[in-house]
């Protein structure tokens, strides 16, 4: 892709990571839910944690804050960790160096070209193939959660079993456009002869994801090297007959933009799960109220910061009447950490970098009294 476009996207993402999240300080689990929503300390959920003590060199992929897809290469030698990571659509490698203890807890620093520490990844290896935790800016103190899974970039054909005789496969291809702009696409598809596979594929059809077929997308891209510039996806959870994935769609028109679509499937039926099928109906109002309390804290903090700079009045106008309602709980994703709810601020493109943190993470431990025992998540909290 052309250098100027990489630079534009990289700068935009950097602004988002630095300015786009305003959250409370972290606390350990076991306190009240409203004290621990923003970024739960890894390792205190009900997900089993396995000790990871062997040397390795592995590739991972996932997201920061549930919406910035990244890839990471890590090498472990004893207690030392080295490697690099990059935002998927930018491609610029950022050096990493840190350490890990015998329990799999790690601290990894990222540095710029001058050797300055620009971010810190802290968390633990949840299992042999996953790691999660929080990314923190040493300059601003901003904290964003991250979750990564091991991947294999040495293969061109990717597939993973999702049970019931089905596999999640990938339809990937690249398009060459004008002015050196390339389009990179990876669409998820379910293989199998079951009704569940057909049902999920209907939801994951490109027409449903992008509002156009692949053929229509290719025609637009050929004509102007614009439209849908890239599609990628990440599996957040694949267990207990649940398949949760995030699909990232990059677009290019008057400016570069993108959005995320999230899906949580019951792999036995193929249906898209609602939050009401996983949590007790009586818990929803209280959860929404707790999320709203934290939302108002984030809005207040963002407003206070805006008073010190330009565009304060505009931001105040954008922030008016923001409230987390029960309906917003439907915008969720499941990971090994728990359930994350996302609030749609709806800021215009020019102000996206000013949006407060939109993610509200509840660990499974925090939700143990709210999860419906007969739901697919029931086994995670049953003693």
Specify the CATH number for the domain of residue 221: 3.30.565.40
Structure confidence by residue, pLDDT tens digits, 212-270: 999 999 999 999 999 999 998 889 899 999 999 999 998 988 887 888 999 999 999 99
The answer to whether position 367 is within a domain reads no
List the Cα angle 100/103/108 in 5-degree steps. 25
Q: How confident is the model at residue 203 (pLDDT cuts 50, 70, 90)?
A: very high
CB contact set of 308 (below 8 Å; sequence gap of 6+): none
Q: Which residue has the higher pLDDT, 4 or 109?
A: 109
Q: Is residue 251 part of a domain?
A: yes
Say if 176 falls within a structural domain: yes
* Domain contains 244: yes
DSSP 216-259: HHHHHHHHHS-EEEEEEEEEEEEETTEEEEEEEEEEESSSEEEE
Question: CB-based contacts of 11: which residues, under 8 Å, 6+ apart?
Answer: none
Answer whether residue 301 is part of any domain.
no
How many structural domains compose the chain? 1
The β-bridge partners of 110 are 96, 119
Q: pLDDT by residue (tens digit) across 152-188?
A: 543 344 689 999 999 999 999 999 988 888 898 999 9
- Whether 313 is covered by a domain: the verdict is no
118-132, 290-304, 329-343, 354-368: the lowest-pLDDT one: 118-132
Expressed in percent and rounded to 5, the helix, strand and coil fractions of the chain are 25, 40, 35
Is 169 inside a domain boundary?
Answer: yes
Maximum CA extent, the chain: 59
Q: Any alpha helices (H) in 280-323, and if so which ranges?
A: 284-306, 312-319
- Is residue 151 a part of any domain in this protein? no
Q: Mean pLDDT: which of 31-35, 143-147, 224-228, 349-353 is highest?
A: 224-228
Q: Rounded CA gap, 14 and 34, in Å? A: 28
Identify the domain containing residue 168 by its residue range: 159-276
Q: What is the pLDDT of residue 50?
A: 36
User: What average pLDDT does the segment 63-79 reach?
Assistant: 86
């Amino acid at each position: 892709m052309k250098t100027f476009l990489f630079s534009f996207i990289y700068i935009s993402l950097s602004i988002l990571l630095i300015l786009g999240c305003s959250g409370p300080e972290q606390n350990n689990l076991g306190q009240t839910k409203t004290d621990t929503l923003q970024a739960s300390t890894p390792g205190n959920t009900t997900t089993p944690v396995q000790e990871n003590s062997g040397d390795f060199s592995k590739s991972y992929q996932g997201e920061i804050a549930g919406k910035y897809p990244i890839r990471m290469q890590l090498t472990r030698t004893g207690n030392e960790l080295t490697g690099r990571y990059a935002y998927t659509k930018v491609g610029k490698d950022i050096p990493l160096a840190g350490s890990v203890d015998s329990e799999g807890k790690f601290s990894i620093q990222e540095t710029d070209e001058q050797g300055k520490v620009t971010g810190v990844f802290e968390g633990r290896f949840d299992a042999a193939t996953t790691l999660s935790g929080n990314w923190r800016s040493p300059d601003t103190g901003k904290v964003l959660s991250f979750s990564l899974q091991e991947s294999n970039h040495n293969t061109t054909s990717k597939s993973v079993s999702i049970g019931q005789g089905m596999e999640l496969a990938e339809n990937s291809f690249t398009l060459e456009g004008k002015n050196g702009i390339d389009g990179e696409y990876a669409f998820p598809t379910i293989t199998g002869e079951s009704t569940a596979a057909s049902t999920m594929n209907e939801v994951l059809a490109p027409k449903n994801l992008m509002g156009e077929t692949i053929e229509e997308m290719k025609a637009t891209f050929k004509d102007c090297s614009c439209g849908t510039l890239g599609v990628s996806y990440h599996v957040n959870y694949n267990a207990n007959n649940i398949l949760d994935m995030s699909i990232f769609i990059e677009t290019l028109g008057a400016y570069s933009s993108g959005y995320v679509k999230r899906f949580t499937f019951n792999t036995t039926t193929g249906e898209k799960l609602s939050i009401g099928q996983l949590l007790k109906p009586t818990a929803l109002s209280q959860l929404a109220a707790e999320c709203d309390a934290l939302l108002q804290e984030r809005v207040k903090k963002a407003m206070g910061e805006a008073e010190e700079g330009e565009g304060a009045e505009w931001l105040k106008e954008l922030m008016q009447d923001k409230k987390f309602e029960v309906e917003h709980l439907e915008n969720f994703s499941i990971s090994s950490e728990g359930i994350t709810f996302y609030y749609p601020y709806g800021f215009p493109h020019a102000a996206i970098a000013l949006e407060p943190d939109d993610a509200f993470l509840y660990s499974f431990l925090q939700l143990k009294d709210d999860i419906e025992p007969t739901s697919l998540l029931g086994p995670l909290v049953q003693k």
